[in-house]
Each structure stands twice: as C-alpha cells, then as structure tokens.
C-alpha cells in the first residue's frame, strides 16, 4: 500500500549493510523459486497430467502435499526477492509470509499468508463495507468472493475463495471456541487439512478434473 512506503520515497538511505542484506534475501528467494518450487512443479504437473483414476490414492495425497509446498516456496520466494530488491535501494517492505503452515485455524493462516493482499482487502474492502460493526457475515462473503476472483476469472478460484470464506465465517460463529478447547496439535491438523484441500481446488481450472481428483483422493472409484 502507498502509505506503507510514502515516507521512504523521500527519506530512504542506501547503505552497504542494507544492500548486502538485500542481495542475500534476493538469493534466498531465487533459490526457493528456482531450486525448490520449480522442481516440485515438474513432479506435480507430471502426476496431474494423468487421469486421477490411474493414480494411486496415496500418490494423489502426496502430490497435493507437494503442491502445497510448491505454492508456498514459489510465492514466498517472489516476496523474498521483492523485499531483497527493495532493501538494495533503501526500501523496507513488510513481510508477506510468517510461517503460514504453522497456523492453528484458517483465520490464523490468513494472518500469516500473503499478508499484503489480506491487509489490502481488510483496509480497502472489508472495513469500508462495515467490517465487524454491521453485516459482518455478508462483508466476509463479499471479501472472499473478491479474493477468489482476484486470483483469476475461473470458477475454481471462486470456489477456493468462497470455501475459505465459509470456513472463516464458521470459525467466527462457533468453530474457534471449539478449536480453543482442543490441543494445538488437532487445531493444526484441522487447518493444514483444509489448506491442502484448498490448494487442490486452486490448481485445477477444469472443474471435471478437480472433481475426479478430489473424489479419487477420498476413495471414490475404488
């Protein structure tokens, strides 16, 4: 957001220490993207090129897990590269990821994942609509529909966004109270399970393929 860097445009300073850190951070990000994410992507794309019925149930779950790692290293790698480049020129950008897969709820996940996007939607859409003060459930539904649409004009992105929206609404209504009573381990498993399913929805723009894959993951078709 502009106001995050407004003062830095006029007052930033380039230092050897900052430039050195920026180079280091950029290289880490490049490594995440090229060495990890791109390598994972080759495996994920190769498996998903098959018909879901021709792939074992265990392999489909492992591939979904690998895609979950791929998309994290891809996007956090880009963010590291952007933060590093900024630092080279004296800008300090906010962190965009804070160990998101340590989340113990879906709300917690979105406080740690793609922070710049979620904070933008909160500040420029959710709060102007009324935030928590009025029509909270409707406001959340609108924000998560738009979050899905922001990622692409495809039904799987809409389903992905609305799916997270439904989970967050349920957490606000009663699920967080239930999760708070459980050991953190169970809350963590709950969050990771729905995050993993969400990324599977995110991957397939073809809803037929998506249905076949999710069905096969849960044992449909033998």
To 5 degrees, how large is the angle CA 83–CA 75–CA 78? 35
How many other C-beta atoms lie within 10 A of the C-beta of residue 78?
16
How many other C-beta atoms lie within 10 A of the C-beta of residue 159?
17
DSSP label at residue 35: I
Question: Over the Cα atoms of the chain, what is R_g?
Answer: 19
Continuous segment of H or E residues that includes residue 75: helix 57-88
Structure tokens of 161?
Answer: 């966004």
Structure tokens of 136?
Answer: 């909270």
Structure tokens of 7?
Answer: 């003062």
CA dist., res. 29 & res. 183, Å (int): 34
Tally of CA atoms within 13 A in the half-sphere of 25 that contains its CB? 21
Catalytic residues: 151
The number of angstroms, rounded, from the C-alpha of 92 to the middle of its chain's C-alpha atoms is: 22
CA dist., res. 139 & res. 6, Å (int): 29
């Amino acid at each position: 957001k502009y106001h995050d860097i407004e003062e830095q445009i006029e007052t930033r300073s380039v230092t050897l220490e900052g430039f050195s850190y920026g180079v280091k951070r950029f290289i880490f990000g490049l490594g995440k993207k090229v060495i990890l994410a791109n390598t994972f992507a080759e495996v994920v794309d190769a498996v998903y090129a098959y018909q879901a019925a021709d792939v074992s149930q265990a392999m489909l779950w492992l591939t979904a897990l690998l895609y979950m790692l791929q998309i994290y290293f891809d996007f956090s790698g880009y963010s590291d590269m952007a933060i590093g480049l900024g630092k080279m020129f004296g800008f300090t950008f906010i962190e965009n990821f804070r160990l998101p897969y340590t989340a113990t709820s879906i709300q917690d996940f979105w406080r740690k994942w793609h922070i710049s996007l979620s904070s933008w939607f909160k500040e420029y859409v959710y709060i102007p609509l009324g935030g928590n003060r009025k029509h909270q459930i409707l406001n959340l539904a609108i924000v998560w529909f738009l979050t899905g649409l922001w990622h692409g004009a495809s039904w799987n992105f809409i389903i992905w966004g609305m799916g997270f929206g439904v989970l967050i609404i349920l957490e606000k209504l009663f699920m967080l109270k239930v999760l708070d009573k459980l050991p953190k381990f169970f809350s963590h498993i709950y969050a990771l399970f729905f995050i993993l399913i969400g990324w599977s929805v995110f991957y397939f723009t073809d809803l037929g393929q998506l249905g076949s894959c999710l069905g096969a993951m849960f044992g449909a078709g033998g």
